[in-house]
Structure 1
Amino acid sequence: MENLLVEFQQKIARTSLDFQRYLIDEIDWHNQLIAIRGARGSGKTTMLLQYIKKNLDLKTSLFVSLDHLYFIDKTLISLAKDFSKIGGTHLLLDEVHKYPNWSREVKLIYDDVPELKVIFTSSSMLEIYKSESDLSRRAVSYDLKEMSFREFIVFETGLDLKSHTLEDLLENHTEIAQSLLTQIKPIPLFLKYLEFGAYPYYKENIKLYHQKLLNTINLIIEIDINAVDHISYDLIVKLKKLLFAIATSAPFTPNITKLSERIGASRAVLIQAIKQLERAGLVNEVYRPTKGIGVLTKPEKLFLNNTNLMYALAKSSTNVGNLRETFFVNQFKNLAVIHLADQGDFLVNEKYTFEIGGKNKTQAQIHNVKNSYLAKDNIEIGINNIIPVWLFGFMY
């Protein structure tokens, strides 16, 4: 354990508090067992280390990744018990899905070492309630999204910009935009965000970012999905083909028969593959509000999870209309219920209708639709029911 403690102190020393993700202030850290899920590269590890550095006693805390060589001949439960004996109060575990039987041992820690608070991160693939020991009644679960447009601006500029609720944006968007325009030029920042701003590691080397993002996609499919669902090599290849098909279509309305032929999979396997990509944080499924969502129900429309993935996968095939819609869907994910609209593009919380378009887009498609809004690209400020599309990046 001594080596783990030394490595932990070294990690803390290298951890900067300059930029912190939105979720760090939303988690109730008092719970005995906390699960934080998120796609690879979204910043889960850094957030845990920042929380420790800001709030915990380093002498009674321990952070460890569960793919560490320490666990070749030692167990997680034995580490927890030994750490508790020397006064440990907080055990923070990174990437639990890489440890065999993780849920059984976490449950044992919860039951047998109650004085130890446990916080763990995992792939977004992991469904806590389906784990072997059903931790859903014990763990409080949170999801870490990719960076919002607001967070990207904070990361780029160091400005202190607050988030707004959807209702606040709809009612006060002109005043909010006016205030922001005294501090930023949103359109060039928005264009950079669409291509580079979803994952914090873009700053490590922006020239190699898309290549690193492609490597991340491969790791998500080959390691993260496989660690949870134990898929075959053949299905790994099919998942990659499916993701590329979605990326190069604008927008993607899945024809299951044609798609089955294209990637060489049955209907059932194909629909399951779509749902695996969605759980892994690589695609977003959108349905109509009247359509039931079952295990074998195909989505009405598919989007890549964020616009950075479009630039990495589709390159020159990236379509500006699809970029806008992909951004809009991504910013609402986990914050609101979003469906396809009968008139317009999207229906949010079964109340608000949105049409997405460029600065010359008219309101013809949402004319006479109650609670309808036109989200326009390439404008700095809106009026009445016309809102700059970039402003929807300020909801978290």
Structure 2
Amino acid sequence: MKQLFLAFYRKLEETDMRFERYLKSQIDWNNRLTAITGARGTGKTTMLLQHIKELYGNNPEDVLFVSLDNIYFSTNKLYSLADDFYSLGGKELYLDEVHKYPTWAQEIKNIYDDFPKLKMVFTGSSMLQIFKADADLSRRVRHFQLFGLSFREFLIFEGLLRKSQTPFLLEEILENHVSIAQKLIREITPLPAFQKYLQYGYYPYYQEDIAGYGERVLQTFNTVMESDLPNVENIDFYSINRIKKLFYILSEMVPFTPNISQLSQMVDVTRTSLMNYLQLLEKSHSVLLLRQKATGIRQMVKPEKIYLQNTNYSYALSAENPEIGNLRETFFFNQLQQNHKVTYTKQTDFCVDGKYYFEIGGKNKTTKQIKELDNAFLALDGLTTGFRNEIPLWIFGFLY
């Protein structure tokens, strides 16, 4: 255990506190059991370490952070570690990458039940089925999901926007977007920064190497498919290769209105397998599936449209500049899906929360398509400020 503490202290020493993700302030860290899931590379590990460092400094004795892919667990059980830690007066246990540990769910449940004064926080893949694991954690755990950087966070990360700038509610933007934009443009020049965000601003690690960022994004996708996916799903190598093939086919066609039979033939799988693969790509935060408004079993029908999960994927996979209409729609869908229900509608590009209608386009797009609809808006690229129901696209990046 000594080596685990020493490694933990080194990580705390190296943790940068200058920028914090939006989710850190939303989590109730007093919960006895907290789960944080999200795509690889979004900053889950850093967020945990920042929280610990902020409260306890660089060498707390009754707090321990450990990654479950540590070689220590090749010969030691998680439950045994918790038992020893608790016996030494341990109060808070932070577990990273739990999907790398086969019996994580059962042992975390046992730790929760047997050590009532021990608080636990754990992180895992966005594909982690917390509520469908072998052990019943649903009654015990509070679950939070971390998405990639919003445009607002990107601006703060770049030093272009003050840290105190908080997100806006969707209703605030719809009602007051003109005054909001006027205040923001006193501090920022949004349009040039917005183009950079679309290209490389979604994953925080972009700052380490912008030139090689696109290649790293694709490497991250491959790691998720080849490492994280088998740790979460019972899946073979053949299926993983088919899922990767599907992803690359979709990347050349988005936004794609799927013909499932045709797509099944292209990937060389059955229709049922294809639908399962699409759901896995969605869970892994690799694609966005735009569905009709539905509940229960109807949600399992084919999506009406398929998008890549974020615009950075589009640039990483495109030999040339991606199609601008696709980028605009992907950005809007990506930023809204964090806190809102985005569904398909025949009248416009998107319906949000079942009551707001949005058409996405460039600054010269007219209101002709939405003039007969109530609660309908244009989200327009290339605008610094808007007018009435014409709203700058970039401002939807301030929702989280």
Please classify the TM superposition score into its range, dividing by the shorter chain length.
Answer: over 0.9
| Paired position in structure 2 for 1:206 | 210
Greater CA drift, 244-253 or 80-89: 244-253
- Once residues 62 and 329 of structure 1 are traced to their aligned partners in structure 2, the CA distance between those partners, rounded to angstroms, is 38
**Cα offset for 1:291?**
7.9
Q: Deviations along 1:49-71, whole A, 9 cap, x unmatched?
A: 00000123622110000000001
| Paired position in structure 2 for 1:6 | 6
| Paired position in structure 1 for 2:118 | 116
1:159 maps to which of 162, 168, 172: 162
- Once residues 197 and 241 of structure 2 are traced to their aligned partners in structure 1, the CA distance between those partners, rounded to angstroms, is 30
SS of aligned partner of 2:258: coil
| Paired position in structure 1 for 2:99 | 97
Using the size of structure 1 for normalisation, the TM-score is 0.98
Q: 1:319 and 2:323 equivalent?
A: yes
Q: How does 1:260-339 map to 2 (within 5 A)?
A: 260-289=264-293, 294=298, 296-316=300-320, 318-339=322-343
Q: Which amino acid aligns with 1:180?
A: L
Q: Contact conserved, 1:31 with 1:140, CA < 8 A, in 2?
A: yes
- Once residues 374 and 287 of structure 1 are traced to their aligned partners in structure 2, the CA distance between those partners, rounded to angstroms, is 21
- Once residues 149 and 293 of structure 1 are traced to their aligned partners in structure 2, the CA distance between those partners, rounded to angstroms, is 34
2:175 maps to which of 149, 162, 171: 171
Q: Contact conserved, 1:340 with 1:346, CA < 8 A, in 2?
A: yes
- Once residues 17 and 213 of structure 1 are traced to their aligned partners in structure 2, the CA distance between those partners, rounded to angstroms, is 24
Q: 1:44 and 2:44 equivalent?
A: yes
| Paired position in structure 1 for 2:398 | 394
| Paired position in structure 2 for 1:383 | 387
- Once residues 173 and 73 of structure 1 are traced to their aligned partners in structure 2, the CA distance between those partners, rounded to angstroms, is 57
- Once residues 177 and 149 of structure 1 are traced to their aligned partners in structure 2, the CA distance between those partners, rounded to angstroms, is 14
Greater CA drift, 204-213 or 281-290: 281-290
Q: Deviations along 1:78-112, whole A, 9 cap, x unmatched?
A: 00010111111110000001001110100011001
- Once residues 379 and 17 of structure 1 are traced to their aligned partners in structure 2, the CA distance between those partners, rounded to angstroms, is 34
- Once residues 206 and 113 of structure 1 are traced to their aligned partners in structure 2, the CA distance between those partners, rounded to angstroms, is 45
Greater CA drift, 57-66 or 269-278: 57-66
- Once residues 133 and 263 of structure 1 are traced to their aligned partners in structure 2, the CA distance between those partners, rounded to angstroms, is 35
Q: Contact conserved, 2:102 with 2:231, CA < 8 A, in 1?
A: no
- C-alpha RMSD of the superposition: 1.2
Distance 1:361 1:266, change over 3 A: same
Q: Contact conserved, 2:291 with 2:299, CA < 8 A, in 1?
A: no
- Once residues 147 and 216 of structure 1 are traced to their aligned partners in structure 2, the CA distance between those partners, rounded to angstroms, is 16
- Once residues 266 and 238 of structure 2 are traced to their aligned partners in structure 1, the CA distance between those partners, rounded to angstroms, is 14
Q: Which amino acid aligns with 2:48?
A: L
- Once residues 95 and 48 of structure 2 are traced to their aligned partners in structure 1, the CA distance between those partners, rounded to angstroms, is 9
Report % sequence identity: 47
Distance 1:317 1:292, change over 3 A: farther
| Paired position in structure 2 for 1:137 | 139
Q: 1:347 and 2:355 equivalent?
A: no
Greater CA drift, 241-250 or 20-29: 241-250
SS of aligned partner of 1:315: coil
Q: How does 1:45-60 map to 2 (within 5 A)?
A: 45-56=45-56, 58-60=60-62
**Cα offset for 1:245?**
1.5
Q: Which amino acid aligns with 1:50?
A: Q
SS of aligned partner of 1:93: strand
Q: 1:240 and 2:236 equivalent?
A: no
Q: Contact conserved, 1:268 with 1:296, CA < 8 A, in 2?
A: no
SS of aligned partner of 2:124: strand
SS of aligned partner of 1:172: helix
Q: Deviations along 1:134-164, whole A, 9 cap, x unmatched?
A: 2111010000011100000000016222210
**Cα offset for 1:296?**
4.6
Distance 1:86 1:290, change over 3 A: closer
Q: Contact conserved, 1:186 with 1:380, CA < 8 A, in 2?
A: yes
- Once residues 102 and 280 of structure 2 are traced to their aligned partners in structure 1, the CA distance between those partners, rounded to angstroms, is 20
Q: Contact conserved, 1:125 with 1:228, CA < 8 A, in 2?
A: yes
Q: Which amino acid aligns with 1:280?
A: S
Greater CA drift, 379-388 or 340-349: 340-349
Greater CA drift, 69-78 or 331-340: 331-340
Structure 2 spans left out of the alignment, 5+ residues: none
- Once residues 254 and 101 of structure 2 are traced to their aligned partners in structure 1, the CA distance between those partners, rounded to angstroms, is 39
- Once residues 104 and 56 of structure 1 are traced to their aligned partners in structure 2, the CA distance between those partners, rounded to angstroms, is 29
- Once residues 237 and 318 of structure 1 are traced to their aligned partners in structure 2, the CA distance between those partners, rounded to angstroms, is 25
- Once residues 303 and 281 of structure 2 are traced to their aligned partners in structure 1, the CA distance between those partners, rounded to angstroms, is 13
Q: Which amino acid aligns with 1:122?
A: G
SS of aligned partner of 1:249: coil
Q: Contact conserved, 1:272 with 1:296, CA < 8 A, in 2?
A: no
Equivalenced residue count is 396
Q: Contact conserved, 1:251 with 1:303, CA < 8 A, in 2?
A: yes
- Once residues 298 and 137 of structure 1 are traced to their aligned partners in structure 2, the CA distance between those partners, rounded to angstroms, is 31
Q: Which amino acid aligns with 2:51?
A: Y
Distance 1:293 1:391, change over 3 A: farther
Q: Deviations along 1:344-378, whole A, 9 cap, x unmatched?
A: 11110111000000011111111120000000001
